[in-house]
Structure 1
Amino acid sequence: MKILVTELMWEDGLAELRRLGYAVDYDMELSRKREELLELVPNYDALIVRNETRVDSELLDAATNARVIGRLGVGLDNIDLKAAKERHIPVISAKNANATSVAEYVMAAMLDASRPLSDADADVRRGSWDRKFFTGYELNQRTLGLVGMGEISNRTARRAKAFGMDVIGYDPFVAPFDHILAETGVRAANTLDELLGESDFISIHVPLTNDTKHMMNKDKFSLMKPHAYVINSARGGIVHERDLVDAVESGDIAGAYLDVLEKEPVEADSPLAQVESIRLSPHIAGLTDEAQSRTAMLVAQEVDRVLHGGRSICAVV
């Protein structure tokens, strides 16, 4: 059987697929070569993608022999799940494989905001010694607001609690006795607005849907504390980028850490890139060696399970 991998996959997963006996064709740039992808895909039993490959009805119709789609990550907004279900093609994701890495990214963002060591280093190298300017503040007793309370938020909360932070969360799909509330000590906010008003840092952990698109907009920024930061490691489009720029430039909020954008990569003339207190990273929150190894191995093994007639524990449809 043949498997087509259209985006970056760690070598461990590729080696595992070959060890399991599959013929693997790997082109990490294929997601950007649509016509070539449409020509190739009918020849494969499985397709493995990340977040750039658009798995829509057109591609699924072309994938006449596909029996499973593997997603190297957890975001699914690039995959038409309804169309896959209609064609009886299971879609599997790398459930929780990168959750620790994303949680650590959030901690790194908060530490950078409170103690900007890279800025201090650059300032010292320019010949300055401004101890007062780089005094910083403690995370201890600050409030972290988690928008969405899934597994990433659970792991983030545990780490924030270890720093002495107060953690609150908002998620209309989480019940009072779910793990993150009952076992992690997160306080539940009654509304998103309540969370925004209380938090020093707001970290977003929800999928991009019609309901969450631009949910963080000028009205929401106006509810935040002037020293608060937004951290988005979930999906571009949840934060209204123009409204964010305006909120930071007007002093309504202190800044933001954006790992995901509506259009990736960021354009050179993007207003986001012109604001120093909006820190940008190239969609790397879950991109550590450990997380990518786990992701690649999990997807490889679950694709193999489906191709041999089993049901994946990571199936989303």
Structure 2
Amino acid sequence: MGTTDTLARADLRVLVCEKIADAGVAHLSGLFSVDLGLDWSKEELADRIADYDAIVVRSATKVTADLIARADRLKVVGRAGTGVDNVDVPAATRRGIVVCNAAGSNALSAAEHAIALMLSQARNIPQAHSSLVQGRWERSKFGGIEVTGKTLGVVGFGRIGQMVAERAKGLGMNVIAYDPLVAEGRYRELGVDKAETPADLYAVSDFITLHLASTPETRNFVSTEAFAAMKKGARLINAARGDVVDTDALVAALESGHLGGAGIDVFPTEPTTESPLFGLPGVVVTPHLGASTEEAQDRAGVVVAEQVAAALTGGVVTSAVNIPALGPEALAVLGPFLPLARQLGQLVTVLAGGVAPLEISYEGDLATLDTRILTSAVLAGVLHGRIDEAVNVVNAASLAAERGIEWSEITIPRARDYTNRLSLRAGDVSLSGTTVGTTSRPRLVSAFGQDIDIELAPHIGLFRYLDIPGQIGRVGTILGLANVNIASMAVSRSRAEGGAVMAVTVDSPVPEETVREIANVDGFAQVWFAALDVE
């Protein structure tokens, strides 16, 4: 929660554009001058926005770059919900405007809805209700199964997944979960078995519930191959994001009888009023109701009101989604390293194959400053695209701690070879980076303890291999035949051990079969390709 231990500021004006909880409006009204613009047109909002220091919206109001440009006094945009898709965050950030949301306000409602879908699906409750109100008494047709003693597989073990697991344990279910970014200790605390791979989870689960974020990596995560790995008769629950499931593959698995049923709350395109899932036996569907409870909506209104108040009164804004302000001196040193920190966090997670205790080292001038924002950027990279919540430098540390991720920080006042250097170590994976040039371009300068020099790019590959003639040519040939263009390459050799590290940046994603082909080249020990969030 934000803190607002300051006197009321009637000179500050807040505009509430959409209906939020009365308690939220009351909280703001006790501190500031509040206007309700619930029925304002887009044109009226544009004409009057310059009069306000803060604006509170839900999903209907679009806070565009044009609107922000007109908002001369605006200091904060509050979104009474968990997303900020209707806010131009980069435009707000450029103007120094804090954008905050009501992160986590709907987690409990979403978890309960997943459980409700599972129970409704197991007992055919919607179908039985529809039949009975249509005048048919069909007891034998709608027999179901018990969930007690069954195994629930949770794919995505963040806040919502953990809430679902706790409630399933209360129903007497066995629970197994897959999430490479949750530490072993968290599984043990909750009495949940850890699956090393999704296939391991699919093989033993009677019910599978999804709690994944929608990212390029998770789209169609549950595919034909995934359904084939599931137990015959398993049932799928999806109250996360519609595009994490291949709908055609799901329909095929249901129609073939391989799946016993499904409970679906989300769809690839919404609103959806037609789907091949509608009417299939054993399928329960709802129109994205996961967050649609009175409590969640009230909670979102109160939380965002507290966050807006904190932003206006100098308090701590715990759910800001853009980078908080830095002092000019610290910004000059730390600011250029924020993209590098996030990208190294993403890369070390790919190379380490999941989460491991993380050691973060700061060398040079970095070591003399408060580097917590860089640590948060590293953790945001570690979590990026892998959890069911939006992650940024403000909330990354708390989300990582929630998942049991451990990290430590080391400061070294004198940097080796570079004025400033940021290094990460996770298990036997180590990476170092710095920034160069007037535009502070992020560069990888060490990998696995060997010096290397390459600019980080959206698509990057790293290989460990035996240093024998022809290896570079083999990689180039394989990528060329796959129509993947190499943008840059760097190689580092260890003469003592005969091993080498190669880094390549490419212009496009590398197909999985191409990755496997490189990994099968004689002498190649490890091959990784990563997609980095390079802004």
Q: Which TM-score tier does this pair reach, normalised by the shorter chain?
A: 0.7 to 0.9
The 3-state SS of whatever aligns with 1:183 is: helix
The 3-state SS of whatever aligns with 1:154 is: helix
Task: Name 2:480's counterpart in structure 1.
Answer: none
Q: CA deviation at 1:52?
A: 5.5
Structure 1 residues 39, 104: CA separation in 2 closer, same or farther (over 3 Å shift)? same
Task: Name 2:218's counterpart in structure 1.
Answer: 212
The 3-state SS of whatever aligns with 1:279 is: strand
Q: Please tell me whether residue 15 in structure 1 is matched to residue 20 in structure 2.
A: no
How far apart, in 1, do the equivalents of 2:51 and 2:313 lie? 18
How far apart, in 2, do the equivalents of 1:54 and 1:271 lie? 32
Structure 1 residues 171, 215: CA separation in 2 closer, same or farther (over 3 Å shift)? same
Task: Name 1:307's counterpart in structure 2.
Answer: 312
Partner deviation per Cα, 1:236-264 (whole Å, 9 max, x = no partner)? 32223333333323333233322222322
Which runs of structure 2 are paired with 1:1-317 in the superposition (5 Å)? 1-27=12-38, 41-51=49-59, 60-61=68-69, 63-76=71-84, 81=89, 84-178=92-186, 181-267=187-273, 269-275=274-280, 277-317=282-322
Structure 1 residues 222, 302: CA separation in 2 closer, same or farther (over 3 Å shift)? same
Per the normalisation by structure 1, the TM-score is 0.83
Structure 1 residues 140, 123: CA separation in 2 closer, same or farther (over 3 Å shift)? same
How far apart, in 1, do the equivalents of 2:253 and 2:44 lie? 43
* The structure with more radius of gyration: 2
Which has the higher mean CA deviation after the structures are superposed, 81-90 or 165-174?
A: 81-90
What amino acid is aligned across from residue 291 of structure 2 in structure 1?
Answer: G
Which structure features the higher share of strand residues?
2
Q: CA deviation at 1:265?
A: 1.6
Partner deviation per Cα, 1:66-116 (whole Å, 9 max, x = no partner)? 322323232455556555544433332323322222221111111111112
How far apart, in 1, do the equivalents of 2:246 and 2:35 lie? 39
What amino acid is aligned across from residue 141 of structure 2 in structure 1?
Answer: F
Q: CA deviation at 1:303?
A: 0.8
Q: CA deviation at 1:191?
A: 1.4
Structure 1 residues 185, 126: CA separation in 2 closer, same or farther (over 3 Å shift)? same
How far apart, in 2, do the equivalents of 1:52 and 1:222 lie? 40
What amino acid is aligned across from residue 258 of structure 1 in structure 2?
Answer: I
Structure 1 residues 193, 131: CA separation in 2 closer, same or farther (over 3 Å shift)? same
Structure 1 residues 5, 274: CA separation in 2 closer, same or farther (over 3 Å shift)? farther
The 3-state SS of whatever aligns with 1:273 is: coil
Which has the higher mean CA deviation after the structures are superposed, 103-112 or 82-91?
A: 82-91
What amino acid is aligned across from residue 196 of structure 1 in structure 2?
Answer: Y
Name structure 1 gaps, 5 residues minimum. Answer: none
How far apart, in 2, do the equivalents of 1:263 and 1:177 lie? 37
How far apart, in 1, do the equivalents of 2:229 and 2:43 lie? 46
Instruction: Give the aligned length.
Output: 311
What amino acid is aligned across from residue 246 of structure 2 in structure 1?
Answer: H
Structure 1 residues 87, 272: CA separation in 2 closer, same or farther (over 3 Å shift)? farther
The 3-state SS of whatever aligns with 1:47 is: strand
Structure 1 residues 146, 23: CA separation in 2 closer, same or farther (over 3 Å shift)? same
Name structure 2 gaps, 5 residues minimum. Answer: 1-11, 323-535
Identity between Structure 1 and Structure 2 (%): 39
Per the normalisation by structure 2, the TM-score is 0.52
Q: CA deviation at 1:5?
A: 4.2
Partner deviation per Cα, 1:159-207 (whole Å, 9 max, x = no partner)? 10011111111112111123xx132111111112222232222222222
Q: CA deviation at 1:145?
A: 1.5
Which has the higher mean CA deviation after the structures are superposed, 182-191 or 125-134?
A: 125-134
What amino acid is aligned across from residue 265 of structure 1 in structure 2?
Answer: P
Structure 1 residues 278, 40: CA separation in 2 closer, same or farther (over 3 Å shift)? farther
Q: Contact 1:17–1:24 at 8 Å: present in 2 too?
A: no
Structure 1 residues 161, 201: CA separation in 2 closer, same or farther (over 3 Å shift)? same
Q: Contact 2:121–2:283 at 8 Å: present in 1 too?
A: no
Q: Contact 1:305–1:312 at 8 Å: present in 2 too?
A: yes
With a CA cutoff of 8 Å and minimum separation of 6, indicate the structure with the bigger relative contact order: 1
What amino acid is aligned across from residue 96 of structure 2 in structure 1?
Answer: H
What amino acid is aligned across from residue 299 of structure 2 in structure 1?
Answer: R
How far apart, in 2, do the equivalents of 1:215 and 1:238 lie? 5
Q: Contact 1:44–1:65 at 8 Å: present in 2 too?
A: yes
Q: CA deviation at 1:311?
A: 2.3
What amino acid is aligned across from residue 303 of structure 1 in structure 2?
Answer: V
